[in-house]
Amino acid sequence: MADFISNLLFVFERLNWLSVLDVLLVAGIFFLLLYSVRDTQAMSLLRGLIFLFVLFTLLTSLVALPAFSWLVSAALPALLLSIPVIFAPEIRRTLERIGRAGTLMTASNKARTVHMEQTLQAIVSAAARLSARQHGALIILQRLDSLETYIDAGVRMEAQVTPELLLQVFFPNTPLHDGAVVIADGKLVAAACVMPLSSSGILNRSPERQMGLRHRAALGISEATDAIAVVVSEETGSIAIAHSGRMIRGIDPDRLENILMAFYRPLNSPQPGWIRRLFPRLFSSREKEEND
């Protein structure tokens, strides 16, 4: 115990402001990595890798196992090279988020804000009527990330967003009802768009596992981009919203309107916009709590 305390004091004696800065930088990098992969399948993989690393370290340091130590030391470089391949989607999303953090948020004028509020009210009204009729729907709202790839796969419309148009698009057995509509800049840009399905496994861990392709597509596009997805279940008529790899289910139209308005409300908080875009989950959760 005395040796441990003396070693600890020796370390603290050698500390200076550069050492503290070095430790804070390393801690910050690990924090960003862990924050970017939380609530995803990558978190489970990361836990497994950390567990194996600690186990192998203890085995090779406490017990004399030459062959096993050689195997671990030989396999470690290959494991380090495989990490970018395993965590490729999470790394890509993190880099895109950092890139978006460096962009400047354009100030919206009053007319554009009013137009966006009218669009959101039309979406909420359509979602409520679709829910009452139990007509399935998937509505994607574009934000900073471009959805042009998914728009090109659908049918371009470039129409004004109205409840009646959305009801007609998602009427069962019509040519455009199967797929998603993409709304950008207050316009219904395209319909019958194909969205990527979620591979995170969050829906499989849900107590209600009857969620179909619409919910998986909504979660998938929210994982791949910063878009907002509004889903109406065809089986139950319940309304759900997905953003940043998370989904809130069973919400009523009033709460849906509050959540959508919070996303598009002018940023008047003291935090800089780049911080809000770098940590969207943190601020979106705070906004949802305020609206509740």
Order of strands, sheet of 180-184, starting from the edge strand that comes earlier in the sequence: 155-160, 187-193, 180-184, 137-141, 228-232, 239-243, 246-251
Distance CA 149, CA 154 (A): 9
Instruction: Label the pairing between strands 137-141 and 180-184.
Output: parallel
Tokens of 9: 């004091």
Distance CA 281, CA 220 (A): 16
Strand partners, 137: 232
Q: pTM of the predicted model, to two decimals? A: 0.61
Nearest in space to 239 (alpha carbons), one of 141, 154, 129: 129
Instruction: Report which DSSP code applies to 265.
Output: S
pLDDT for position 286: 47
Half-sphere exposure of 75 (CA within 13 A, CB side): 9
Name the residue ranges covered by the structural domains of the chain: 2-101, 110-291
Radius of gyration of the chain from its Cα atoms, rounded to whole angstroms: 24
232 with 127: CB under 8 angstroms? yes
Strand partners, 243: 246
Instruction: Label the pairing between strands 180-184 and 187-193.
Output: antiparallel
Half-sphere exposure of 161 (CA within 13 A, CB side): 27
Distance CA 200, CA 206 (A): 12
pLDDT for position 75: 74
Nearest in space to 189 (alpha carbons), one of 100, 266, 259, 119: 119
pLDDT tens digits in sequence order for the chain, 292 residues long: 666 677 667 666 777 778 788 888 888 887 877 776 665 556 666 677 777 777 777 776 666 777 777 777 777 777 777 767 766 666 666 666 666 555 444 444 455 566 788 899 999 999 999 999 999 999 999 988 888 889 998 999 999 999 999 999 999 988 888 889 999 988 999 999 999 888 666 655 555 455 678 899 998 898 888 899 999 998 889 999 999 888 898 899 999 999 998 887 754 444 444 444 444 544 455 444 444 4
Distance CA 4, CA 8 (A): 6
228 with 143: CB under 8 angstroms? yes
What number of other Cβ atoms are within 10 A of residue 30's Cβ? 10
**Alpha carbon 106 to chain centroid, angstroms:** 22
> Residue for token digits 């900073």?
144
pLDDT for position 272: 43
For domain 110-291, say whether CATH 3.40.1700.10 is its number. Answer: yes
